[in-house]
DNA sequence: GTGCGTGCAAACCGTTTGCAATCGG
DNA sequence: CCGATTGCAAACGGTTTGCACGCAC
């Protein structure tokens, strides 16, 4: 088996705590700045390393964003995202995701399998304007 | 109106030709190297500038990829993509995209609108292993 | 004590940009 | 001839990495 021995360092805990506290899909930079407020000595490299570790361990998820820095999600359950084109914030679509899921996986992946692909998953992101920005822009 | 005066330069034509010849969603780097074969004096900056221009003019499209360099698509009609996790190539899903389209837009965007979002679009990409790589890996 | 994880800084990759020179209209 | 577009190189943002040290086990 390949279970690399992992250590429980303070830094790793701080990174996980940060992602869980900053609920809105923070970037590595945001995680870094958040930790800095309480632990002045952390390095950005360590933040990146731990974020990647936590993703590899399936503790957090990397959210696909169209452009800009990667974002991280403390929720591991399947759901999709909307990115506001105005403020850049990324929101969850907690809703009827399940229904959508089935339709996507049953339909398009079936076509792919017929073409000889092995399908392992998909990523989807919506774009639009969030309620907050709509108010402001009126 | 803001219709910036565009010029028809050799470089712009070369970039468009390259994207249309390299059908498999080339990266800017690949476009650059392709042009270099016949026109030794082009600069990478110019390739990027022209790719972005052509995207802005709706002549080509930028394909969303999970990670790695941006890719460009000579096909402007709506369709989705699969990225092979083994070789990294991006393939078209020409198929029943239309059907899927409706289901996605009707269902998830409706939920978003109820939540107060204005939805402008979405991007989806599938991941898997392509037929070629399946053969090789056996 | 062993070696994984750290801090630091340099390197990396893909992309954009400032500038003077060029060339399309 | 005007100014949009070029080539070049430097700078950019986000991320990874090499190294010596330090800390978890």
User: Which residues of chain A are within 8 Å of residue B82 when distances are taken between CB atoms?
Assistant: 112, 117, 119
Given a cut of 60, whether residue B99 has pLDDT beyond it is no
* Contact status of A136 with chain B (Cβ, < 8 Å): no
* pLDDT at A95 (0 to 100): 59
Domain enclosing residue B121, as ranges:
78-138
pLDDT in tens, A40-64: 999 999 999 999 999 999 999 999 8
- Residues A28, A7 within the same domain: yes
Mean pLDDT of chain A, nearest integer: 86
B65 and B89 in a single domain? The answer is no
Residue B93 predicted with pLDDT over 90: no
| CATH code for the domain of A7 | 1.10.10.10
pLDDT (0 to 100) of residue B78: 82
Backbone angles phi, psi at A82, to 5 degrees: -120, 140
Q: B52 with B82, same domain?
A: no
Domain end, chosen from B75, B96, B116, is at B75
Using CA atoms, how far residue A110 sits from B64, B82, B90, B100, in Å, is 22, 13, 18, 12
The number of folded domains in chain A is 2
Q: Which nucleotides of D are covered by protein (CB under 7 A)?
A: 4-10, 13-18, 23-25
More confident position, B49 or B134: B49
**Whether B16 and B69 share a structural domain:** yes
A107/B119 touch (CB, cutoff 8 Å), yes or no:
no
Distance CA B80, CA B63 (A): 9
Instruction: Provide the mean pLDDT of chain B.
Output: 87
Q: What is the pTM of this model?
A: 0.88
Q: Tell me the DSSP string of B62-114.
A: EEP-SSSS-EEES--S--EEEEETTT--EEEE-STHHHHHHHHHHHHHHHHHH
| Nucleic acid strand C within 7 Å of A42 CB | yes
Q: Are residues A104 and A128 in the same domain?
A: yes
Contact A128 B120 (CB under 8 A): yes
The partner residue sitting opposite A129, judged by closest CB among B97, B118, B131, is B118
B104 and B92 in a single domain? The answer is yes
Picking from B75, B101, B120, the residue at the C-terminal end of a domain is: B75
Q: Do A30 and A47 lie in a common domain?
A: yes
Instruction: Give A-chain residues touching B112 at CB under 8 angstroms.
Output: 82, 93, 126, 128
DSSP string, B105-119: HHHHHHHHHHTTPEE
Q: What is the CATH number of the domain that holds B121?
A: 3.30.1490.190
Closest CA to B83 of B133, B34, B40: B133
Both B86 and B120 in one domain: the answer is yes
- Tell me, yes or no, whether A4 and A70 share the same domain: yes
**pLDDT tens for each residue of B5-58:** 889 999 999 999 999 999 889 999 999 999 999 999 999 999 999 999 999 999
Is residue B82 domain-shared with residue B67, that is, in the same domain?
no
Is the CB of B11 less than 7 A from some atom of nucleic acid strand C?
no
**pLDDT tops 80 at residue A112:** no
3-state per-residue secondary structure call for chain A: CCCCCCCCCHHHHHHHHHHHHCCCCCEHHHHHHHHHCCCCCCCHHHHHHHHHHHHHCCCCEEECCCCCCCEEECCCCCCEEEEECCCCCEEEECCCHHHHHHHHHHHHHHHHHHCCCEEEEEEEEEEEECHHHHHHHC
Q: Do residues B76 and B120 lie in contact, with contact meaning Cβ atoms separated by under 8 Å? A: no
- What tokens were used for A127? 């774009």
Taking each helix axis as running N to C, give the angle between helix A10-21 and helix A28-36, from 0 to 180 degrees, rounded to the nearest 10. Answer: 110
Please check the confidence at residue B100 and state whether its pLDDT lies above 70: no
Greater confidence (B39 vs B127) lies with B39
Closest residue to D3 by CA to C1' distance? B5
Claim to verify: residue A35 and residue A57 sit in the same structural domain: yes
| Cβ under 8 Å to A: B residues 14-53 | none
């Amino acid at each position: 088996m390949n279970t690399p021995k992992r250590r429980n360092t303070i830094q790793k805990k701080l990174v996980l705590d940060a992602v869980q506290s900053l609920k809105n899909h923070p970037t590595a930079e945001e995680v870094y700045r958040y930790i800095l407020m309480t632990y002045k000595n952390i390095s950005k490299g360590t933040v990146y390393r731990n974020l990647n570790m936590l993703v590899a361990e399936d503790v957090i998820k990397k959210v696909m964003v169209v452009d800009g820095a990667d974002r991280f999600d403390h929720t591991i359950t399947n759901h999709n995202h909307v990115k506001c084109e105005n403020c850049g914030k990324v929101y969850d679509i907690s809703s009827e995701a399940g229904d959508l899921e089935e339709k996507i996986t049953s339909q398009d992946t079936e076509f792919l399998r017929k073409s000889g692909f092995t399908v392992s998953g998909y990523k989807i992101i919506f774009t639009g304007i969030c309620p907050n920005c709509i108010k402001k822009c009126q």
